Amino acid sequence: MKKEIINIEGMTCASCSSHVEKALNKIDGVEKATVNLTTEKATISFDPNKVDLFKIKEVVEKTGYGVREENAIDDVQLIKEKQLKALKIKFLIALIFTIPLFYIAMTPMINTIKFPFPKIIDPMSKPLNYAITELLLVIPVIIVGYKFYTNGFKAIINRSPNMDSLIAIGTSSAVIYSLYNTVLIANGNMEAVDLLYYETAGVIITLILLGKLLEEISKGKTSAAIKKLMGLAPKKAIIIQDGVEKEIPIADVKVDDIVVVKPGAKVPVDGIITFGNTSIDESMLTGESMPVNKKINDNVYAATINGNGVIRFKATKVGHDTALSQIIKLVEEAQGSKAPIAKMADIVSGYFVPIVVIIAVIAFVLWFIGTGDLGFSLKMFISILVIACPCALGLATPTAIMVGTGKGAELGILIKGGEALEITHKVNTVIFDKTGTITEGKPKVTDILVVDGIDETKFLQLVASAENGSEHPLGEAIAKDAHNKNIELLDVSHFLALTGLGIEAIVNGANILIGNHKLMEKHSIILNVFENKFNELSEAGKTPMYVAIDGKLSGVIAVADVVKVSSKEAIKKLHQMGVEVVMITGDNKKTAAAIASTVGIDRVLSEVMPQDKAFEVKKLQSENKIVAMVGDGINDAPALAQANVGIAIGTGTDVAIESADIVLMKSDLLDVPKAIELSKKTIRNVKQNLFWAFAYNTIGIPLAAGLLYLFGGPLLNPMFAAMAMSLSSISVVTNALRLRK
């Protein structure tokens, strides 16, 4: 099977992507096709022996949508920016013409307040001027909103009506009916001036354009995350060629080349060390803050940073095969996969539009047969379509989502668009990354134990002075602790970093050794006094180090990545909400278990490689769980993109933030349960809005069809139909605004 991703143009709602997806899955030879509305991409697995990519693209075009050829990431960003700018201009043009149109339409109806009104277009004395002015004002609005008509009617022709279809039918009905009445006015029927609904079309188009604009602004810049990931890899590499070091472009590095990496430089490709010892900062890949000691036959990975030693390694994976490239690929695939959300209004509109049209046609035919009056029957037809105008339906979801996301921003919870907000209320499993999420991500001194007779302050002064020359995060944590306690550091006359062991230094004439068992054994230092305590600290997930001064064990100093203050309370609240909490980390089982027991997590996924984090998310999703992933590192980006909802910590990397659906700006884990609660309240509000939007139509459509008139009751005039439609819009917006409280 072959897998391809193609770009699709012209999709505006869930029913569009659903229609394309169904068409693609019907093709003989296509195993599976998923269409993502947000990324505007289709991911297709197909048998190249049965069908080719040309045929697949042809099917997309036959469904009424376009196929855009793949561009470079910069080009895609440029296209998106141009589209956003064009949408802003369209909205402003629509607004400029809709404001006077609305004023002209509404002012004559308000007799009690004397607003200034030009006599030349007075509806009582100059009705034709009045009608033509409204027509001239609505034309530019219709022109800037032309895509609603082209997409909407095309969708009807393709038997897949969508939200654009509702907008197109609703506004077209208002305009056609108004044009009909303008002709009547021109023929001397002055009463027809009360039956103009040009402003209805203008206001609907302007409001929908505003919604589209806000939706585009809130969309995550998916390609920016991938662009940043690509920027991590170095552009050049040094290889050994004919016994001489030579700098070449990274694209020219081949498998089995011998690559040289100097201290502080980035590793260009994946490989196995053949010469040298060093420590490598793999935090951009694994998320773990502690550098990893490396020796001959150990693996190194592209984009990680070499520490204090020169190494040579044999390239094993280059180009698209490196671990970093695999992470980039995972982010692209996860972002391109189908979101498990469908807009409620779009689903209902698939049934609603044809039903309304059928009712309107049936009513028209029956009344024409019964009365023989074409004008009367047409009035019934138009009344049904006007009252079924999608203004409330179009506003129901976006208004609640706009208010919900606005409230989230006030609370420091940035939600990237409606989809994230819609799915978050269903979350029943939250995965937390450990480092930088549950923990601070910065090592701190947690324990200082000294031999009897040794002053703790003097002990810390000597240890911190020795470690001050180290670039290792553990050493930096000790030096920082001394600085915070206002301890003055002493001069160091000798310093040596011993890879895999610790450090050796001479401070103020004293010989200092700081490190592990092996370092102490190498110098024949007896450890009996603190050996049990050392093991206890290790069990607790801390990193303890022995300290020997002038050949004698003097104490133990322990450093750990401490748990955030809010972690335990946040996890407790999630448990109270019935949400399962999982911790995922690249750290060892012992350290992971210690942190998990501290904060109350029952399920731990430890020693998980970066490329496997997204796979672990997939495994949970395969258990029919709605998963939210909370992380802060580059290594979390694929998992954040794969999860139903990706939640990034605001202090995390740009890539993590851009891959996520929700960003917690305060880096407070208590905002995770807050985000879920906000989503629940917003979705409840959306459902209420949709209920009221349809309630007006359910009651109004039979009235517009003349049901009461048939039994001697009143006839619903299109003017009252438009009023009912306006009331439904007002109730929807008012209800959405309650979320602000």
Residues labelled as active-site residues: 433
* CA 63/CA 619 separation, integer angstroms: 34
| Residue type present at position 637 | A
Q: In 10 A of CB 550, how many CB atoms?
A: 10
Q: Which residue has the tokens 């990354």?
A: 433
Scored b (16 or more CB within 10 A) or e, 287-297 reads bbbbbbebeee
Alpha-carbon 385 to chain mean position:
37
The CB-based long-range contact list for 122-130 (8 Å cut-off, 24+ gap) reads: 123/193, 124/193, 127/185, 127/190, 127/192, 127/193, 128/182, 128/185, 128/186, 130/104, 130/193, 130/196
Q: CA nearest 450: which of 376, 373, 391, 529?
A: 529
Q: Which residue has the tokens 């075009």?
A: 61
Q: CA nearest 582: which of 598, 606, 568, 603?
A: 603
Specify the DSSP element, H or E, that contains 215: helix 198-218
* Residue 739 CB-density burial (10 A; 0-12 exposed, 13-18 middle, 19+ buried): buried
Query: Helices in 221-320 by DSSP H: which ranges?
Result: 222-232, 283-286
CA distances from 268 to 62, 237, 272, 290, 706 (A): 45, 6, 12, 21, 76
Torsions phi, psi of 451, nearest 5? -70, 145
H, E, C per residue of 301-367? CCCCEECCCCEEEEEEECHHHCHHHHHHHHHHHHHHCCCCCCCHHHHHHHHHHHHHHHHHHHHHHHH
Torsions phi, psi of 211, nearest 5? -60, -45
* CA 71/CA 79 separation, integer angstroms: 10
* Residue 487 CB-density burial (10 A; 0-12 exposed, 13-18 middle, 19+ buried): middle
Indicate if the alpha-carbon torsion angle 490, 493, 497, 498 is positive or negative.
negative
* CA 534/CA 40 separation, integer angstroms: 55
Specify the DSSP element, H or E, that contains 293: strand 292-294
Scored b (16 or more CB within 10 A) or e, 614-635 reads bebbbebbeeebbbbbbbbbbb
Q: In 10 A of CB 19, how many CB atoms?
A: 23
Q: What is the DSSP letter of 107?
A: G
Torsions phi, psi of 366, nearest 5? -65, -45
Scored b (16 or more CB within 10 A) or e, 207-220 reads bbbbbbbbbeebeb
Torsions phi, psi of 401, nearest 5? -70, -40
The pairing of strands 278-281 and 305-306 is: antiparallel
Q: In 10 A of CB 48, how many CB atoms?
A: 11
Q: Which residues contact 26 (CB under 8 A, 6 or more apart)?
A: none
